[in-house]
Amino acid sequence: MKTQQLDDVALILEREFATPRQTTKDTHWAKNPLENSISSALCDAYDIRNVLSAKIKNRPKDNEGTEFTIGDCLDDIISTLEELESMFQEEDNE
């Protein structure tokens, strides 16, 4: 993904989530505040997945007759966040 596309995604997510900005002086934070937010959300999603029982994860995600489960949705969220995180890491390596 190009830098402009990442900037566009960052702008949209910042508008939606309005996370406080961190400075590069905080060495434990990522250079980009959005990257930090994505990493934090990913850790939260891992934690949620780990504490949910198999019974809950195997429930349908809605009452509309879908075959997709809560676990499927959570896996999709994690996959998307991992992909976004890797985009930032690739950009940092360029």
Asked if residue 84 belongs to a domain, the reply is: yes
Determine the structural domain holding residue 81 and report its residue range: 34-94
Question: What's the pLDDT score for residue 62?
Answer: 92
Q: What is the pLDDT of residues 32-79, one digit of tens each?
A: 788 889 999 999 999 999 999 999 999 999 999 999 999 999 999 999
Asked if residue 28 belongs to a domain, the reply is: no
Q: Of 20-29, 31-40, 67-76, 81-90, where does the model show the most confidence?
A: 67-76
Asked if residue 17 belongs to a domain, the reply is: no
Asked if residue 18 belongs to a domain, the reply is: no
Asked if 30 and 42 touch (Cβ cutoff 8 Å), the reply is no
Asked if residue 3 belongs to a domain, the reply is: no
End-to-end alpha-carbon separation of the chain, Å? 12
Asked if residue 22 belongs to a domain, the reply is: no
3: tokens are 């830098």
What domain count does the chain have? Answer: 1
Asked if residue 88 belongs to a domain, the reply is: yes
43: tokens are 């850790």
Query: Could you tell me the maximum CA-CA distance found in the chain, to the nearest angstrom?
Result: 50
Structure letter (DSSP) for residue 60 = B
Asked if residue 9 belongs to a domain, the reply is: no
pTM: 0.64
